[in-house]
Structure 1
Amino acid sequence: MRSKHQPTPSSSPSSTPSLAPRLLRPLVLGLLLLSGSPWSLAAADKASTYYEDGLRRFERGDLPGAIIQLKNSIQEDQKMLAAHLLLGKVLLGQGELKAAEAALEEALKQGVSRSEVAIPLAQIYLLLGDRKKLIDQITTSGLPTQAQAEVLTLRGSAYAMSGNVTQAAKSFAEAKALNPRSGSPWTAEAPMLLRLGERDKARASALKGTELSPNEAGAWYTLGTILQGQQDLKGALAAQERALKINPKQVDARVARASLLIGLNQEAEASKDLAQLVEWELEDPRASFLRGFLANRKGDLATAKTAFANAVDLIDAISPEVLAGNDPLLLAGAMSHRALGNPEKARGYLDILLGLNSKNYAAQVMLASILVDTRDYGRAMVLLEAAQRINPEDPQVLFLLGTVNMARKRYVQASEFFEKSAARSGSASAIRELGFSQLSLGQDKLGLANLEKAFAATPGDGRAGIQLANVYLNQGQTAKALQTAQAIVKREPDNLTMLNFLGNIKGRAGDKKGARDTFQQLLQKDPNFRPAAVNLSWLDMEESKFDPARKRLEKLLEGGNKDDAELLHQLAILELRAKRPNEAIAHLRHAHEVQRVDARPGLMLVELYMEQRQADLALPLAKSLAANYSGKLPALLSLARVYLALNDGSNARQVLQEATRVADFDAQEQVKIGRMQLAAGNVDGATYNVQKALQSQAGDLGALLLQVEVEARRGDPAKVDAALKTLNNTHPGKVQTTLVGAHVAMSRGQFPAAQAGYRTVFEKEPSTANAILLARAMVAAGELDKALLMLEGWARKAPNDITALKAVAGVQMQAGRNEAAKKNYQQILALQPGDIGIQLNYAQLLHRMGDAGAVAAAEKALKQAPGNADAADTLGWILVQRGNIEGGLRHLREARLRSPGNSEIRFHLAFALAKLNRKAEAKEELSAALNAQPKLPMTQEVSRLKLELGL
């Protein structure tokens, strides 16, 4: 049996049969003359008989049989030189390199001429990766001219694989000069030229090799590999077929042909080649990989895994020295490990390969693919752009370029690359991704059509089916969404993940009972299938069945890992829905502390702290998240929000600058960051965000909206109008366009125009948020009663909408409807006792009403959120206004230290200090308040204090 890991040597068995008979006759004759005993003659005859049979088997290609007979011959006569020599060559042909080396060295020891052993020994050293031994021990000294040329060729290959290109080129040139009729040096030189990036020269050299040695299988194999690397698949296939016509058992050529046939979508023919190798018991790890690839494509995952594992076992067992000189094996090892889900091991092989041959195109593309999978888009892009320069039409490279641009939200570029890839390959995957990119660009009809086309071509493509069902659902095509999900499940009835997806589709389509039945069916099949248990719990939560949902999740937690961050996160969401914020916080803390791979529990905890106005607790947590999840945008934005809440614009701007870099060309994220930059007072930063967003997606609605806001902040009316014009021309009639026009009118004091705009928005998209905007415009115009009437009417339509109720209470408080506002605030606090903001508004309302409970209400808020600057400020200010200056001062100092950028707090502190006649300190605080951003409103109280302090 052939070795499980060695490629066929360049000297094929069919090229050497005449050597043995030429050596045999004089050797046997000499033995007959020297031996005088009949027994010795009989032994020699027997050895000769075994040898002759071994030779015939060798000529027929029966290498295992030849080995047995040659060993029998040597056993009969240890000094039979021909048997030792031929045994070494047969073992070499069989791929048993160490045994072949030992046999040839024994032949040399027994007296075989060095010229007979030099070439096969050099081949063995080269295949074993022992290039130094070849260079040191196998020289041309004393060899015939043709043998010298062959040895020089092998030495050239050894120099090339060692990275000594100069010596390699010299050796090849000397070989060509010694034997101009030999194609071997041309053939051997071609792979080196390809490694150097000399693609045309490599092709020419390989062609010359076939012209000079048209009957040499190895020459045609090499030409085939060069042509394949240049994407000339048909030419490569023809070359490999010529190689196999010369030597049908040339494993390298047969594996290469199978690979080419797969690339040409002739999988049945490829399978025949791979089956032929099995029949001949010629095992090769590259063939194992191709078997796995074909099985995986057919959905036979078990067979695929076995084949990939076999390839990995074979390749991993090969010595590093041998692997270091064999690009195809390194590539097969990388691909097999990747297929088994071992990307790091795959990268290890690719690093070795690219370290030896930095211009190996296949390795570059594969490494880029792995980098894309691991979201290392920057490094992937460098490799892919280099690959595209070499082969601009490669559909795989185009596909990967599309994937990188898609991940970076550069949908226009992604769509272009996917379209080119699909056109060149017809790949369903490329068509599917093209559909995704078109949907992201708002080209719904085109995107949907391509998704439908991809799913029809490959019904087993779960990714296409899932996205298609979601698109149908979003478009209100419920029947088609269900039909698609059911088709996926029908194809894979035992796939629990797909069955779970079907349950989700049913639930989103409004069939809650169907969804519940599906999830329960799943849990009957596998009680520990967590996604179904979680989804069933979500259904319970939507129906306010918190107890059964809680019990189910807790049971999963107890049955598995009590530190399961995902389940703890789900429990936290449940407790928030159940209005148990303290329990939610406990679960989130636990989830955050027990792992460092999922930022969501920590981010959610920061948001909870912020909602409770506990910025002192949110800040250290947000800082740790930004440090532990370095380079992750959500963590950076969370920290920036906390800084903004603390009025720490300087640190917020610094974090947002890093976030801008991380967001790269993601238009939506750049717009989000730009809005935060405006909140931090960084107009130039927001301008840069707009530019990045528009560079990614020209005409992006969000970016154009932000551009208007940026120009409005700069205060140049002409530029605001120009930005508005661009927006209206690009997105006429859009609700967002009308909305930003209303914002501009509002900022200019054009309240009737603002009201008209907000009313249009509210009528098109009735919501609490839009009702509040319209109310604000009415209030600004002095139409408090009108605003209140509109809000109260909206709140009656949405009786469970707390936000609407809060808005009503706020306007009532502003309109002086104190009793009504008090009643609503009490109702809100009964529903949301932990809402610090409402508690503070309630305290301020009571203070205005002269209600003695104002202090108690403010104290309650501060007790609930002891580190909350607003709570400390509210209590301190109420106490100061009620004459308890010293009592209020303590809280105001604390508030100022917790939020030094808050101009209102600093004014309150200045006012209290002035009352206590601490003029210098009061002047310092008021000066800081007047210079802070956003600017302190110039009320009568502020003007009086300013005048009093001489500012």
Structure 2
Amino acid sequence: MPNRLSSRRIRTTSILKALSALPLLLALGACSRPPPAEALLADARRFSAQGDPKAAIIQLKNIVQQQPDHVTARLMLGQMYLDTGDMASAEKELRRARELGAQADLVQPGLGKALLSQSQFQRLLDEFPAQGASAEALALRGQALLYLGRPDEARSMFERALQLKPGLSDATLGLAKQALIGAQPDKAGQLLEQAIAQNPDNVDALRLKGDLQLAAHEPAAARKSYERILDIKPNNVQARLDLANLAIQQDRLDDARQQIKLARKAQPKNLMISYSQALLDFREKRYKSALEQVQQVLRVAPEHMPSVLLAGAVSVLTGSDTRAEQYLTQFLQANPEHPYATKLLATVTLRSGKRDDALNIMRAALKGTPNDADLLALAGEAEMQAHNFAQSAAYFEKASELKPERSELRLGHGFSRLQMGDSPKAIAELERAAQGGGGAERAGTLLVLSHMRDKQLDKALSVVDAMIAKGDSAMLQNLQNGPVCITEN
């Protein structure tokens, strides 16, 4: 009996202890329970207002982890990803919000921007039909049509958007871009200022303003416009990359590296970081790395024309002629008569032995830009290979007049004159070329001059033929520093 009583007392004591600990356990459980969604949403809004998108994104992720069907959190998360440049994540969240029943007018602007930023132009047109579209959706369609090389259709979309919603800055901005493509820079500038007046904090308008200033050879003003975007949105990765690309063009490569580093820190998944890194690699002649970086972009966004052009330029300079021709043809289909791309395609076509094709490209291009020294020199090389020495000499002579400081142009002129049998003028041009030349070209020039002075014209011509047969265009070194950074989305 005593043992039974003792056991009962022990069990009773244990139960009482467990019951007495229950309030504490319940309290601890309450402390470990995550805050409710509305509290997290309030935190996210506060962090966003304070300019801390990363903290806002963390809180929003906590909400959708608790409540995967929380529409408001999905919408806001999509917008936060847009603001920080993570367009793929923005697209994912906005699509989910739409599936959960979010209103179209809340989803479409952000989703359209995400598609545009990923160069998914045709996909945007497929998903945003013009029939019954809102003004904002029509403006998005116009943007996509612009990038697909259909400016007249784009203008129609922008005009329809403004009829539905007068003063819509995105539509006015689209008309400015369309005017710029149509070679109406004054009209483009007027429309751009109108778009900025309609919405002074429109970062797309400020970016286009910077691009226009850059095209007008006002890099300091362009830099201020890009920096103004960072004043409005300190975490805007695209503004960082625009500043990096500008620094690359100005050979401020350390500044470019710093901007790319800041962009990568803010948004490591942003695809356009790879493009800017490729530009930097290209300028530093690290062509293998440049091609790897730009191909990362093209795998996701095959219609991103700046990357297509850069891939073509790298391929030309690394001797991958077939691949270069494919890239450059694709680019020129979307951007006909683009001078830099035309020169590159002419170079690779000529080097591939397609002399007649190269001549056709260059003759057509020279009608529009008759005073382009690089193009004239390429045409001179092609005519020399075709044994049209008089025409070759004429091209090189004009190129030399335009750029008298470039010895390779005098070299081409001298060689052409030599082939024509005009020894006095050939010697004069070759001597002037030798004064400023360098490396193998200078040595070859001096050798030709030596043979000519010894009246050994056959030997001089043999050296010329050997130099031409190398197939390395005299323009390649000049083209490798060409303006490959063209306006992006």
TM-score (norm 1): 0.38
Kindly indicate whether residue 386 of structure 2 is the aligned counterpart of residue 396 of structure 1.
Answer: no
Q: Tell me which amino acid in the other structure corresponds to 2:175.
A: E
Q: Distance in 2 between matches of 1:220 and 1:356?
A: 25
Superposition deviation, residue 89 in structure 1: 1.9
Kindly indicate whether residue 124 of structure 2 is the aligned counterpart of residue 120 of structure 1.
Answer: no
Alignment of 1:554-703 (within 5 A): none
Superposition deviation, residue 39 in structure 1: 8.7
Q: Is the 8 A contact 1:347 1:367 kept in 2?
A: yes
Superposition deviation, residue 72 in structure 1: 1.9
Q: Is the 8 A contact 2:373 2:400 kept in 1?
A: no
Q: Distance in 2 between matches of 1:390 and 1:62?
A: 50
Q: Is the 8 A contact 2:135 2:161 kept in 1?
A: yes
Gap runs ≥5 in structure 2 = 1-27, 418-422, 460-468, 470-489
CA distance 1:276–1:243, change in 2 (3 Å): closer
Q: Distance in 2 between matches of 1:227 and 1:381?
A: 34
Q: Distance in 2 between matches of 1:176 and 1:290?
A: 37
- Three-state SS of the structure 2 residue aligned to 1:45 is coil
Q: Distance in 2 between matches of 1:405 and 1:45?
A: 77
Q: Tell me which amino acid in the other structure corresponds to 1:285.
A: S
CA distance 1:183–1:378, change in 2 (3 Å): farther
Aligned position for 2:317 = 339
- Three-state SS of the structure 1 residue aligned to 2:437 is helix
Alignment of 1:422-571 (within 5 A): 422-423=403-404, 430-441=406-417, 442=423, 443=425, 444-455=427-438, 462-471=439-448, 473-474=450-451
Superposition deviation, residue 406 in structure 1: 4.3
Q: Distance in 2 between matches of 1:137 and 1:243?
A: 31
Aligned position for 2:284 = 295
Q: Tell me which amino acid in the other structure corresponds to 2:317.
A: A
CA distance 1:387–1:288, change in 2 (3 Å): farther
Alignment of 1:139-154 (within 5 A): 148-154=134-140
Q: Is the 8 A contact 2:237 2:263 kept in 1?
A: no
Q: Is the 8 A contact 1:288 1:310 kept in 2?
A: no
CA distance 1:363–1:435, change in 2 (3 Å): closer
Q: Tell me which amino acid in the other structure corresponds to 1:284.
A: I
CA distance 1:171–1:42, change in 2 (3 Å): farther
Superposition deviation, residue 435 in structure 1: 2.8
Which of residues 286, 302, 305 is equivalent to 1:327? 305
Gap runs ≥5 in structure 1 = 1-37, 297-303, 456-461, 478-507, 509-633, 635-951
CA distance 1:93–1:394, change in 2 (3 Å): farther
Which of residues 149, 152, 160 is equivalent to 1:174? 160
Superposition deviation, residue 120 in structure 1: 0.7
Aligned position for 1:222 = 208
Which of residues 250, 267, 275 is equivalent to 1:286? 275
| Cα deviation code 1:578-612 (max 9, x no counterpart) | xxxxxxxxxxxxxxxxxxxxxxxxxxxxxxxxxxx
Superposition deviation, residue 173 in structure 1: 0.5
CA distance 1:342–1:68, change in 2 (3 Å): farther
Q: Distance in 1 between matches of 2:176 and 2:359?
A: 29
Kindly indicate whether residue 49 of structure 2 is the aligned counterpart of residue 70 of structure 1.
Answer: no
- Calculate percent identity across the aligned residue pairs: 22
Q: Is the 8 A contact 1:217 1:250 kept in 2?
A: no
Aligned position for 2:258 = 275
Q: Is the 8 A contact 2:396 2:413 kept in 1?
A: yes
Q: Is the 8 A contact 1:216 1:243 kept in 2?
A: no
Which of residues 332, 341, 344 is equivalent to 1:366? 344
Aligned position for 2:172 = 186
Q: Distance in 2 between matches of 1:261 and 1:395?
A: 26
Superposition deviation, residue 180 in structure 1: 4.1
Q: Distance in 2 between matches of 1:39 and 1:138?
A: 48
- Three-state SS of the structure 2 residue aligned to 1:233 is coil
Q: Tell me which amino acid in the other structure corresponds to 1:419.
A: S
Kindly indicate whether residue 243 of structure 2 is the aligned counterpart of residue 243 of structure 1.
Answer: no
Q: Is the 8 A contact 1:241 1:257 kept in 2?
A: no
Q: Distance in 2 between matches of 1:288 and 1:188?
A: 28
CA distance 1:254–1:105, change in 2 (3 Å): closer
| Cα deviation code 1:385-406 (max 9, x no counterpart) | 4444444444433443343344
Aligned position for 1:413 = 394
Q: Distance in 1 between matches of 2:51 and 2:392?
A: 58
Superposition deviation, residue 476 in structure 1: 7.9
Aligned position for 2:216 = 232
CA distance 1:182–1:373, change in 2 (3 Å): farther
Q: Is the 8 A contact 1:354 1:363 kept in 2?
A: yes
CA distance 1:273–1:366, change in 2 (3 Å): same
| Cα deviation code 1:238-270 (max 9, x no counterpart) | 33541232236655555555555555xx31x24
CA distance 1:174–1:142, change in 2 (3 Å): closer
Aligned position for 1:308 = 290
Q: Tell me which amino acid in the other structure corresponds to 2:75.
A: L
Q: Is the 8 A contact 2:430 2:445 kept in 1?
A: no
- Three-state SS of the structure 1 residue aligned to 2:35 is helix
Q: Distance in 2 between matches of 1:436 and 1:259?
A: 34
Q: Tell me which amino acid in the other structure corresponds to 1:376.
A: K
| Cα deviation code 1:767-801 (max 9, x no counterpart) | xxxxxxxxxxxxxxxxxxxxxxxxxxxxxxxxxxx
Superposition deviation, residue 345 in structure 1: 1.8
| Cα deviation code 1:35-78 (max 9, x no counterpart) | xxx99999673545544554555566665554333212322333
- Three-state SS of the structure 2 residue aligned to 1:323 is coil
Aligned position for 1:317 = 299
CA distance 1:448–1:193, change in 2 (3 Å): same
Q: Distance in 1 between matches of 2:53 and 2:276?
A: 21
Q: Which has the larger radius of gyration?
A: 1
CA distance 1:401–1:190, change in 2 (3 Å): farther
Q: Is the 8 A contact 1:101 1:124 kept in 2?
A: yes
Q: Tell me which amino acid in the other structure corresponds to 2:139.
A: T
CA distance 1:220–1:184, change in 2 (3 Å): same
| Cα deviation code 1:621-641 (max 9, x no counterpart) | xxxxxxxxxxxxx9xxxxxxx
Q: Distance in 2 between matches of 1:250 and 1:139?
A: 30
- Three-state SS of the structure 2 residue aligned to 1:358 is coil
Q: Is the 8 A contact 1:217 1:242 kept in 2?
A: no
Q: Distance in 2 between matches of 1:210 and 1:389?
A: 37
Q: Distance in 1 between matches of 2:126 and 2:353?
A: 46
CA distance 1:315–1:389, change in 2 (3 Å): same
Superposition deviation, residue 133 in structure 1: 5.0
Q: Distance in 2 between matches of 1:192 and 1:450?
A: 45
CA distance 1:133–1:448, change in 2 (3 Å): closer
Q: Is the 8 A contact 2:295 2:311 kept in 1?
A: no
Q: Distance in 1 between matches of 2:392 and 2:126?
A: 58
Superposition deviation, residue 172 in structure 1: 0.4
Alignment of 1:1-16 (within 5 A): none
- Three-state SS of the structure 2 residue aligned to 1:78 is coil
Q: Is the 8 A contact 1:195 1:357 kept in 2?
A: no
Aligned position for 1:157 = 143
CA distance 1:432–1:138, change in 2 (3 Å): closer
Q: Which has the higher contact order (CA 8 A, sep 6+)?
A: 2
